[in-house]
Each structure stands twice: as structure tokens, then as C-alpha cells.
Amino acid sequence: MALAGWVIASLFACVHLFAGRLTILDKVPRSRWLSFAGGTSVAYVFVHLMPELAEYQEHLLDTYGDAELPAAELHIWLIALIGLSFFYCLNQLIRQHAQADAADRDAAPLQAFWLHLCAFAIYNSVIGYLLVTTEERGAEELALYGTAMALHLLVVDHGLRAQHGDLYKQRGRWLLAGAPLFGAALGSSFLVSETVVVALVALLAGSVVLNVLKEELPEDRHSRFGAFLFGAAAYSGLLIASG
């Protein structure tokens, strides 16, 4: 992977290391910047990744059409659904642990904390791994991906920091900061087939949608609809113009 890819991977790491210093994000109603970041990353999924996945689906049908696999025309979308469903189930499990525990979020069970963190470490590693295949398609593609994912990780970091408190600050953020660098290193050393890459992109697409909306939808967050909509519209316009 070239220098630009490593710069983006380092940016992802810095989001987790230093986002906690952005006190402007820690307020209710929800910070406009977080809602804007969420809108941007969702726009990237629906305007950029989803059309690409549709093209990949057609390619897979052409390649494996003779295999007569069940629901072959839906495989990519089913994988995206798996990504969304996994994080939904994970968040429900973490919520059940939190409700069973004391009101102090810093007392959340270590088991639930590490389950949450390990899942997001894998998630971040996939984001880092996909830098390699994204970089191969040009600097513009890398910049669009890097911007959308950095803003998305800002939303993820804020949610985990609010949910796990000092545990995340002292331990979790370091694990998540290293994960995209690990993923990028893995992608530079081990290449997988196009089919596996497509599956990873589909998993990421479904996961991003769930992880953004779970931060925007709770009533107690008082999310900024205007900022979310502006982020989605502005980045959609940028993606359309660049396409």
C-alpha cells in the first residue's frame, strides 16, 4: 500500500486517540457535527457503495450463474443484511447487560465491554483492510472513502465513549486505534479474491447504516435532523459530481 493509504489509516487511528478532546461533541441536544458526520457516512453507503454492490452482484451472477445457487441474485444484499443484523443483536445484548447493572455506566461488566470492543476492532480492521482495494482505484476514490469512514469512526467513537466511560478511555480507544492500522497491514500482505472483497464491502455497508442510525434515533439524544440531512445531501452531491 502506498503512503496515501497509510496516511488515511493513521487518520482513522487518530480519530479514536483524540476525538475525546473534542468537548464540543459532548452535549445534549446532540452535536450538529456528529449528526453531520452520520449523514455523510450514510450518504456514502447509499449513493456510492450500494450502486457498486449492485454492479458486483451482476458480475457474480455472470461468473457463477451456472452454479444454480439459491437466491443467487440476492447474495450481496443478504450479506449487507447480516452486517446490519449482527450489530443490531450486539447492541441489544450490550443494552441488556447495562440494564441489569448499576446506573453508573463505568461499572458496566467487563465481559460486555470486551465483547463490544472486540466486535468493533474487527469492524475497524475491515475498514483498514479495504483501504488497499480502494487505493487501487485512484486517489479520488481513496479520499472519498477516507473522509466518509473517518467521520463515521468519529460517530462510533463518541457512542462507545459515552456508553463505556473510563473503560473505553483507558483501554478501548487504544485497541480501536490500532485496528485500522492492523487491517491495512494485513491488506498489504495478504490479498483475497474479489468475491471476498465484495462480501466485506457488503458487510461494511450494512454495519455502517445500523451504527449511524442507532446513534441518531434514540429520543434522549435530541439528534440534529437538519445537520444530518445537510451532511447526507452535501456528500451525496459531492459523490454524484465526482462520479
Q: What is the mean pLDDT of residues 129-158?
A: 91
On whether the CB atoms of residues 46 and 53 are closer than 8 A, the answer is no
List, for residues 194-234, the tens digit of each pLDDT value.
888 989 999 999 999 999 888 876 655 566 778 888 999 99
On whether the CB atoms of residues 42 and 209 are closer than 8 A, the answer is yes
Which range, of 24-33, 142-151, 162-171, 204-213, averages the lowest pLDDT? Answer: 24-33
Under DSSP, the state recorded for 137 is: T
Q: What is the mean pLDDT of residues 133-143?
A: 87
Pick from 23, 67, 48: nearest CA to 147: 48
Band of residue 154 on the pLDDT scale cut at 50, 70, 90: very high
Whether the upstream peptide bond of residue 70 has omega within 30° of 0, thus cis, is: no
- At residue 80, the pLDDT reads 93
Joined together, the cell numbers standing for residue 238 give 459531492
Pick from 155, 149, 137: nearest CA to 205: 149
pTM (two decimals): 0.87
On whether the CB atoms of residues 78 and 71 are closer than 8 A, the answer is yes
Going 130 to 234 to 152 to 99, the CA torsion angle's sign is negative
Q: Residue 43: is its pLDDT beyond 70?
A: yes
List, for residues 90-131, the tens digit of each pLDDT value.
988 887 776 665 555 545 567 788 889 999 999 999 999 999
Give 66 or 84, the one with higher predicted confidence. 84
